Amino acid sequence: MTTPIRVAVIGAGMAGQAHAFGYRNAMMSVSTPISVELVAIADPNLPLAQSVAARYGFAEAIGDIDALLERDDIDAISVALPNFLHAEVLPKVIASGKHVFAEKPIGRTVEEASSLQELADASDAVTGVGFSFRRLPGLAALAAAIADGRIGEVHTVRGWYNADYAADPAGALSWRYSQEQSGGGALLDIGSHAIDAVQFVAGQISRVDNTTLRTVIAERPVPSAGAIGHGASASNERGPVTNDDIALLSVSFHNGAVGQISLSRIAQGVPNALGVEVFGTRGHASFNSINSGEFVLFEDGLTDAAYNGPRHIVTGPAHPYFTDVAAMPGGGVGTGYAEAFTAEIQEFLRCVAAGTEMDTDFAAASAMMNVVGAALEASKTGTAVDVA
Ligand SMILES: NC(=O)c1ccc[n+]([C@@H]2O[C@H](COP(=O)([O-])OP(=O)(O)OC[C@H]3O[C@@H](n4cnc5c(N)ncnc54)[C@H](O)[C@@H]3O)[C@@H](O)[C@H]2O)c1
């Protein structure tokens, strides 16, 4: 039995619950034995923290986040708070010397993200970020195939994230709909995942050539009590939505490729889907998170002309993030977003145990935020903006 890594989660909302789920299931890791002690869930909404702690088997629930940070019986902390609290809470967690796994996007702006990255760089602790889609075997396998040169030189990239959590105008005005509190609507909330996915598979974006932002549902009911995730009871009062429902970006990459990224939180009938499609000089590859354990690969000339077409590949033990999270060891048993949370927490814990850096670190989050910053600037000026 390995020495347990003692963990706590700050924020018991939608993402905090997914982290709690991940820590609970990470105990089953196959390739690296990891043992985890589920210490505490912290949230100022104590009844919520209590119910989440009970549900996922954490020993305690705590209402005071600062008190949690002072404790010496915790090695690693997840932070899953609204975006406007990242720049306030993450520096305290880093200063406490504990390893930190932060929800994306780390802050609301380029300035907040880059100053958090500087703190992370100066710390000996492992600092990871929850770009959970990278842990879906289909997307991870697609990235590996492109890195392996299977489709030649990449020249065209399309990324998208469609969701319908904001499609109902009666949905309450949570922090997500405030530019001040969120830093961006679809552009940052779901765009952070799509932009990271696109950079993960096709390299760094060098310039945002054009951005269109649209707010379709301009006002919403103010919540009558605290909103959690996408649900809240609404009051009769209404308030303005100050960020985008839809974001469309045209981008250029350092490697010469060009791309488009399309983001919508009002995509009626598409609850939650991220996709990428990448074309290269010798083939193409595509992925849709609805079928997150699968991807499509076309390698020109792999076989004779009559059979020279795209292959639909179902991931299995030969692919990343499969063996450690699949309920059964063989291919074809299916995988979903729940497994992605288990896999990302396992990856974080592996880095904590080995003292190594995480691939999805604060630098990756900063690189994503730099694209968002350039996109916001391009939408204001109507001109192309280089990514910092
Ligand atoms: N990786 C993913 O797929 C994913 C999914 C959802 C959210 N997220 C990220 O996780 C973070 C949290 O999002 P969420 O959807 O869990 O939010 P949420 O609104 O569901 O939960 C936020 C939690 O923070 C607590 N909180 C503490 N102080 C607060 C304050 N001053 N005001 C409001 N709430 C306060 C609330 O009580 C609540 O439990 C965000 O940064 C978001 O971008 C990531």
Over residues 64-92, the pLDDT tens digits come to: 999 999 999 999 999 999 999 999 999 99
Neighbours of 374 (CB within 10 A): 24
- Give distance in angstroms: CA of 127 to centre of ligand 1: 19
Its CATH architecture, for the domain 5-133, is 3-Layer(aba) Sandwich (3.40)
- The pLDDT value recorded for residue 29 is 65
Q: Is the pTM of this model over 0.95?
A: yes
Range with lowest mean pLDDT among 26-30, 71-75, 300-304, 355-359: 26-30
- Is the pLDDT confidence value at 148 over 80? yes
Determine whether the shortest distance from the Cβ of 183 to ligand 1 is under 6 A: no
CA 79 to ligand 1 centroid distance, Å? 9
320 touches ligand 1 (CB under 6 Å): no
- pLDDT over 90 at 339, yes or no: yes
The β-bridge partners of 207 are: 252, 386
| Helices and strands: H and E segment counts in the chain | 11, 17
CA–CA distance, 12 with 189 (Å, rounded to integer)? 18
For residue 187, which of 160, 206, 167, 209 has the smallest C-alpha distance?
160
CATH class for domain 134-329+368-381? alpha beta
pLDDT, tens digit (0-9, with 9 covering 90-100), for 315-333: 999 999 988 888 887 887 8
Residues of the chain with CATH 3.40.50.720: 5-133
Cα of 181 vs centre of ligand 1, distance in Å, is 11
pLDDT at res. 304: 93
Domain(s) labelled CATH 3.30.360.10 in the chain stretch across 134-329+368-381
Q: What is the atom index within ligand 1 of the atom nearest the CA of 227? A: 19
Among the listed ranges 166-180, 230-244, 263-277, 365-379, which one has the minimum average pLDDT value?
230-244
Query: Are 103 and 80 spatial neighbours (Cβ–Cβ below 8 Å)?
Result: yes
CA of 228 to the centre of ligand 1 (A): 7
Contact at 8 Å (CB) between 344 and 135?
yes
The mean per-residue pLDDT over the stretch 224-244 comes to 82
Ligand 1 in reach of 52 Cβ (< 6 A): no
User: Which of 287, 248, 295, 274 has the alpha carbon at shortest distance from 194?
Assistant: 274
Per DSSP, 302 falls in state S
- Best residue for ligand 1 mutational test, from 14, 190, 272 (most atoms within 8 Å of Cβ): 14
**DSSP percent split of the chain into helix, strand, coil, nearest 5:** 35, 25, 40
| The predicted structure's pLDDT at residue 227 | 65
Mean pLDDT of 334-344: 91
Distance 155 CA to ligand 1 centre (A): 37
Q: Where are the beta strands (DSSP E) in the chain?
A: 5-10, 36-42, 60-62, 76-79, 99-102, 127-129, 154-163, 205-214, 219-223, 234-240, 246-253, 258-264, 272-280, 283-288, 294-299, 311-314, 385-386
Q: What share of the chain in percent tops pLDDT 90?
A: 89
Residue percentage of the chain with pLDDT more than 70: 98
CA of 189, closest atom in ligand 1: 43
CA atoms within 13 A on the CB side of 148: 12
Tell me, what amino acid is at 223? P
Q: Which pLDDT score, from 0 to 100, does residue 1 have?
A: 61
